[in-house]
């Protein structure tokens, strides 16, 4: 069946090959590049992400080679409101957000998809490394590039209108295919870090917007060990940058209290948690789990996967881990996996709180 497909083209190799595959499959494909900043030079320059003038030009050249129409959509207002401002607000509240996940949720598969459907398109095509099988998301065959975690926030309806042509191949194969197709982005480096932080200095970016207010760094007993220049520049599990000289053992950030601007640190053992509560559950791969169900959970991008039992109670997702995890930060997503091979996305929630049930649980 021929579909009208809107291919989101970031200017990178993955989205270019995805668009080419969709067109080669016989679909009626139109390319679109998302302009995410009113001043692209304020974001990364060079081949670093999806927010630069160079990226827009690379996307247009790729569309020309593929032979598809190409447009640029101005999404700067939505991106600033739903991704950048959300990023700053989350850190101000003592949480650790994932802006790539939020961009997928709010921009690529909400604002863009809504506009695409209104214009008569059947699906949005992206270069994410993930498989779509029987209407559900599964991990990519290239586990090192798998992006199912950052798509775990999508709803069932959003997945239904999404197309992911690259989930059945490796990144090496994608680059080789791009070269065969004559796409100039074949050797373009992958994007890294956060696209809207020009110099990669997250702490400096947050200080510019939230200000740097000194506060105490305390241990678990409440004793003051040192000071910091802003609690919003820390994340749970952080070890470097504490500037606590003379410590006998390594200390890690255990909690961040924005109300009193306090950072609490302690030994790694104190980071262990085995119960997680997540807000705003979304179920794209199964019906809501109304009874405790054995599955697996990933708690950060490219992070370890844990066996668990999960259930939705009173609008919240409660996850009990089979073994403790460390460095679990509020604001990150908890993405559940199951199915025959344990690689199908079931649903997700945004981590709100953690606890330790079994004090004697080994890591």
**Can 308 be counted among the known catalytic residues?**
no
String of DSSP letters for 302-337: T--EEEEEEEEETTEEEEEEEEEES---TTSEEEEE
Size of the chain in residues? 363
Q: Which one of the listed residues 51, 100, 195, 308 is annotated catalytic?
A: 195
**Can 295 be counted among the known catalytic residues?**
no
Kindly report the number of other CB atoms within 10 A of residue 124's CB atom. 22
Q: Which one of the listed residues 103, 125, 169, 295 is annotated catalytic?
A: 103
**Which uninterrupted H or E stretch holds 344?**
strand 344-355
Q: Three-state SS for 282? A: strand
- Gyration radius of the chain's alpha carbons: 21
Long-range contacts of 243-251 (CB under 8 A, 24+ apart): 244/217, 251/219, 251/225
Biggest CA–CA distance in the chain, Å, is 67
CA–centroid distance for 218 within its chain: 31
- Residues with catalytic function: 103, 195
């Amino acid at each position: 069946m021929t579909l009208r497909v809107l291919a989101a083209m970031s200017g990178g190799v993955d989205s270019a090959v995805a668009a080419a595959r969709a067109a080669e499959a016989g679909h009626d494909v139109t390319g679109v590049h998302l302009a995410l900043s009113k001043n692209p030079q304020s974001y990364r320059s060079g081949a670093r992400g999806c927010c630069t003038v160079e990226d827009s030009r690379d996307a247009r050249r790729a569309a020309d080679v593929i032979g598809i129409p190409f447009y640029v959509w101005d999404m700067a207002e939505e991106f600033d409101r739903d991704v950048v401002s959300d990023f700053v607000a989350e850190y101000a509240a003592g949480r650790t957000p994932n802006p790539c996940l939020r961009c997928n949720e709010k921009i690529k598969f909400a604002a863009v998809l809504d506009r695409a459907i209104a214009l008569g398109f059947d699906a949005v095509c992206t270069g994410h490394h993930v498989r779509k099988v029987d209407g559900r998301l599964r991990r990519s065959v290239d586990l090192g590039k798998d992006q199912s975690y950052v798509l775990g926030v999508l709803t069932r309806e959003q997945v239904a209108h999404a197309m992911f042509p690259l989930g059945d191949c490796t990144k090496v194969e994608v680059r080789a295919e791009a070269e065969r197709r004559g796409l100039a982005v074949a050797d373009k480096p992958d994007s890294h870090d956060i696209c809207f932080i020009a110099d990669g200095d997250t702490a400096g970016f947050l200080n510019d917007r939230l200000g740097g207010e000194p506060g105490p760094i305390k241990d678990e007993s409440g004793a003051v060990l040192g000071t910091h220049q802003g609690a919003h520049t820390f994340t749970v599990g952080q070890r470097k940058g504490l500037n606590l000289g003379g410590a006998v053992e390594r200390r890690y950030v255990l909690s961040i209290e924005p109300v009193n601007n306090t950072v609490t640190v302690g030994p790694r053992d104190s980071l262990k948690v085995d119960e997680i509560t997540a807000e705003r559950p979304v179920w794209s791969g199964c019906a809501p789990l109304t009874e405790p169900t054995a599955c697996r959970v990933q708690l950060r991008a490219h992070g370890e996967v844990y066996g668990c039992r999960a259930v939705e109670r009173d609008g919240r997702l409660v996850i009990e881990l089979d073994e403790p995890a460390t460095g679990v930060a509020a604001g990150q997503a908890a993405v559940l996996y199951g199915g025959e091979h344990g690689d199908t996305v079931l649903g997700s929630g945004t981590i709100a709180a953690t606890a330790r049930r079994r004090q004697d649980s080994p890591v």
